[in-house]
């Protein structure tokens, strides 16, 4: 019986590992929109057997990151511009509310540690996985502090929609991201409800405005960086 239990636990941990690895490939654009998700190739690349890979694919399909392509295959979902901008607009409302309600609920040491991390990453010019991971933690910090599972789930799903948008971000967005994130954290550290909400909304509106500039050709010289927010 114990051997069977260990086997089941091993399969479960492999499925979780496959899910984490595959979702990271999608959300960091190593598997861009429209890419076919080939079970055998992924199993070889991640050195995980096909069964956990298949479970991860089905889980990501249920979450909307992958879509059915034909009878048995899946592909990474493409997000069009209209969905990107609609998602950002809804995020303004929900994340603005979340940061306002979270004032006084997030431990000061945690806020300060995140602030230090934002400052350090803001000095870098090229985005990497550390930027993506920090960005996720910052934007989910406030709904999680409220213990509002529904809000966390909605924000996470909206962030995935904006993350999957294929257009590159405008030049200088890494530094501006850092400055805007610091404005949010500083307002929360100071306990300013009005400033915290305004900083969050301003941040998301700036992302939308700058992406419109890219689409209109006003930021043609932008390096190939994707928007993280």
Give pLDDT tens digits for 57-70.
999 999 889 999 87
- Over the stretch 162-183, which tens digit does the pLDDT of each residue have? 888 866 665 567 889 999 999 9
Maximum average pLDDT range among 111-125, 160-174, 209-223: 111-125
CA pair distance 76, 60, nearest whole angstrom: 9
Query: Among 3-7, 41-45, 108-112, 122-126, whose mean pLDDT is lowest?
Result: 3-7
Of 60, 70, 67, 78, which is closest to residue 19 (Cα–Cα)? 60
- pLDDT value at position 170? 58
User: What letter does residue 105 receive in the DSSP assignment?
Assistant: T
Q: Tell me the residue length of the chain.
A: 229
CA pair distance 169, 123, nearest whole angstrom: 17
Under 8 Å between Cβ of 217 and 165: no
Averaged pLDDT of the chain: 86
Asked if pLDDT for residue 189 goes beyond 90, the answer is yes
The DSSP secondary structure of 169-215, one letter per residue, reads EPTTHHHHHHHHHHHHHHHHHHT-HHHHHHHHHHHHHHHHHHHHHHH
Q: What is the mean pLDDT of residues 205-227?
A: 71
CA distances from 102 to 18, 112, 176 (A): 33, 15, 24
The larger pLDDT score, comparing residue 221 to residue 101, is at 101
Extract the tokens encoding 218.
């006003």
How close are the terminal C-alpha atoms of the chain, in Å?
Answer: 47
Extract the tokens encoding 124.
């870098």
- pLDDT value at position 134? 92
Extract the tokens encoding 144.
């999680």
- pLDDT value at position 10? 52
Question: Cβ contacts of residue 35 below 8 Å, gap of 6+?
Answer: 75, 76
Q: What is the pTM of this model?
A: 0.79
CA pair distance 198, 175, nearest whole angstrom: 19
- pLDDT value at position 171? 59
- Over the stretch 92-108, which tens digit does the pLDDT of each residue have? 999 999 999 999 999 99
The larger pLDDT score, comparing residue 228 to residue 138, is at 138
- pLDDT value at position 220? 44
Extract the tokens encoding 7.
């086997």
Domains contained in the chain, CATH given: 2-76 (1.10.10.10), 81-226 (1.20.120.530)
The larger pLDDT score, comparing residue 172 to residue 222, is at 172
CA pair distance 106, 216, nearest whole angstrom: 39
Extract the tokens encoding 81.
């511009």
- pLDDT value at position 224? 41
- pLDDT value at position 7? 44
């Amino acid at each position: 019986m114990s051997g069977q239990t260990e086997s089941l636990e091993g399969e479960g941990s492999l499925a979780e590992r496959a899910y984490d690895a595959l979702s990271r490939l999608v959300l960091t654009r190593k598997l861009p929109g429209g890419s076919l998700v080939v079970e055998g190739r992924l199993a070889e690349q991640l050195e995980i057997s096909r069964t956990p890979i298949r479970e991860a694919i089905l889980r990501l399909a249920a979450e909307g990151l992958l879509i059915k392509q034909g009878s048995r295959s899946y592909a990474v979902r493409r997000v069009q511009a209209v969905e990107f901008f609609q998602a950002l607009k809804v995020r303004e409302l929900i994340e603005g509310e979340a940061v306002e309600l979270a004032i006084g609920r997030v431990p000061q040491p945690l806020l300060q540690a995140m602030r230090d991390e934002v400052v350090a990453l803001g000095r870098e010019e090229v985005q990497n996985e550390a930027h993506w991971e920090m960005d996720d933690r910052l934007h989910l910090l406030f709904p999680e502090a409220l213990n509002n599972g529904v809000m966390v789930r909605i924000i996470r799903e909206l962030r995935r929609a904006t993350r999957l948008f294929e257009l590159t971000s405008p030049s200088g967005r890494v530094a501006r991201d850092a400055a805007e994130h610091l404005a949010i954290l500083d307002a929360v550290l100071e306990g300013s409800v009005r400033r915290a909400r305004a900083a969050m909304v301003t941040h998301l509106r700036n992302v939308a405005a700058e992406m419109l500039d890219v689409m209109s050709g006003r930021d043609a010289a932008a390096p190939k960086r994707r928007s993280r927010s």
